[in-house]
Amino acid sequence: MWWERKRAREREREIMKSFVWLCIFFCWLLNRACQADQHAPLQVDDYAYTIQVDSLFSKPVCTHSTKGLKRESSLEVVHRHGPCTNLPGDAPTVSDVLRRDEARVNWINSKLSINSQPDSANLPAKDGSSVGSGNYIVSVGFGTPAKYLSLIFDTGSDLTWTQCKPCIRSCYNQKDPIFDPSLSSSYSNISCSSDLCSSLASGTGNSPGCSSSTCIYGIQYGDSSFSVGFFGKEKLTLTPRDVFNGFLFGCGQNNQGLFGGSAGLIGLGRDPLSLPSQTAAKYNKIFSYCLPSSSSSTGHLTFGAGSTLSRSLKFTPISTFSRSSFYGLDFTAISVGGQKLSIPTSVFSSGGTIIDSGTVITRLPSTAYAALRNAFRQRMKAYPTAPALSILDTCYDFSGYKTITVPKISFFFSGGVEVEIGSVGILYGSGLSQVCLAFAGNSDDGSVGIFGNVQQQTLEVVYDVGKGRIGFAPGGCS
């Protein structure tokens, strides 16, 4: 009948309408799936970190780690600005840290310059800038009896030095009593005519001087920070079981710069004057460290084969920079949110890459940094942006959030080694309203890349210099 045909047509229209809405729904789901690649780090735990916003900054109380200190030949590492050490002086602002970091990078580039030649040890006596920022401190003993001093350790330097009495020209303010070699029965000066005196040229980048037949060293960092003094031998005590007689070091009589109240510096570079080289008979040029996650926690510096115990260590070869004792790395790729970025490998090989404990912010070739920045911004579109902070140009305002989700970032090195940057190594800021991507780009692809200390935090970093390799493992401090 006609009404039955009418009802049949109405049912067909209802079915068709439901089908259309079903198609629209599935198209919407498909569109969400297509966009998921861009926003995956904000949704997929495997490729993202969920971070408590209040954990982005240091706490007022020190938390001590004991992991590394359970090994023999280990020293506790503390940040020179924070509750884990009581070095004199106010902590620098974030802007100051980044400005001094630029000075550090400029110093590294000058050391790597082909045209760089050793200068006179008679360095200028004027206010200095800094050996770097965010440096890390260990306590070691000098002399007989041993006097313990808080020293910055630095993989980008070779000579170990400390301020010494009588401070003939100038000494800056430090936490510990200034070392007095006249009170030590094991101290002796190096003669100007000694071959050891001549070794200062490669270990400091400056030609040695001479005063009353005593060898004079001079070393300069960053803008104008420097130490000049007598080159001597002394007993070095790392731990009660790790004592070295005749350790070559600088006894500083003219020292200026913002060294954060430390008594001097330990050189962990590759030159024969460095601590790993001078202790090679015992440690086989092996050392490791874990840099703490913040200035309110601690890490460790460990010498010897005990550094290589972690089963999760992955080793990559050390690449050598001409006329330099820096530790080079063969950088090959970067991933963001589990996706490798489209960066030609030639971008990384053009200027090469070093790993440096004294540089704060990792520096990347300009092409590589642009790719990293763009991928990171794409995955962070849900968050309000903030103005740039000095050299950091990708910043966010997290003041309205309790937790945030950021994409994981990994570095890849030769030998197929992937190093996943910890959550503490991705962001850096001055406050909740200005937290930034903790990487910076070089002015071009030809400048040296630098794997900085913010990105190294919480990693176990093992330097097996004898075998020409560097190892990385997660969870090195906890």
State the pLDDT confidence band at 231, using cuts at 50, 70 and 90: very high
Using CA atoms, how far residue 304 sits from 16, 358, 476, in Å, is: 76, 22, 16
For position 365, what pLDDT does the model report?
97
Q: CATH assignment of 309-473, given 3.30.565.10, 1.10.510.10, 3.90.380.10, 2.40.70.10?
A: 2.40.70.10
Lowest mean pLDDT among 303-307, 317-321, 417-421: 303-307
pLDDT band at 1 (very low <50, low <70, confident <90, very high): very low
Q: Is the pLDDT of residue 129 over 80?
A: no
Ramachandran area for residue 49 (φ above 0: left; ψ -120 to 50: alpha; else beta): beta
Where are the CATH 2.40.70.10 domain residues in the chain? 72-302, 309-473
- Residue 399 burial (CB count, 10 A): 13
Top-confidence residue, 185 or 60? 185
Concerning whether 356 is annotated as a catalytic residue, the answer is yes
158 is catalytic: no
- Predicted confidence (pLDDT) per residue in 133-180, tens digit: 557 999 999 999 999 999 999 998 999 999 999 999 999 999 899 999
Q: How far apart are CA 287 and CA 465, in angstroms?
A: 8
Quick one: which of 91, 70, 200 has its CA closest to 135?
Answer: 91
The region of weakest confidence among 72-81, 108-117, 129-138 is 129-138
The pLDDT value given to residue 91:
76
- Tokens, residue 75: 């020293």
CA torsion through residues 240, 245, 249, 250, sign:
positive
- Torsion angle of alpha carbons 458, 460, 461, 463, nearest 10°? 150
Distance CA 47, CA 427 (A): 16
CATH class of 72-302: mainly beta
pLDDT above 60 for 413: yes
Residue 126's Cα: distance from chain center in Å? 28
Report the percentage of the chain scoring pLDDT > 90: 65
d(CA 247, CA 181): 13
CA 76-257-212 angle, 5° bins:
100
Residues with Cβ within 8 Å of residue 405, at least 6 apart in sequence: 41, 42, 48, 49, 50, 51
Residue 236: partners with Cβ closer than 8 Å, 6 or more residues away? 140, 141, 142, 243, 244, 247, 249
Q: Among the options 158, 223, 242, 356, which is catalytic?
A: 356
Catalytic option among 154, 223, 271, 330: 154
> What's the pLDDT at 124?
33
* Banded model confidence at residue 475, pLDDT cuts 50, 70, 90: confident
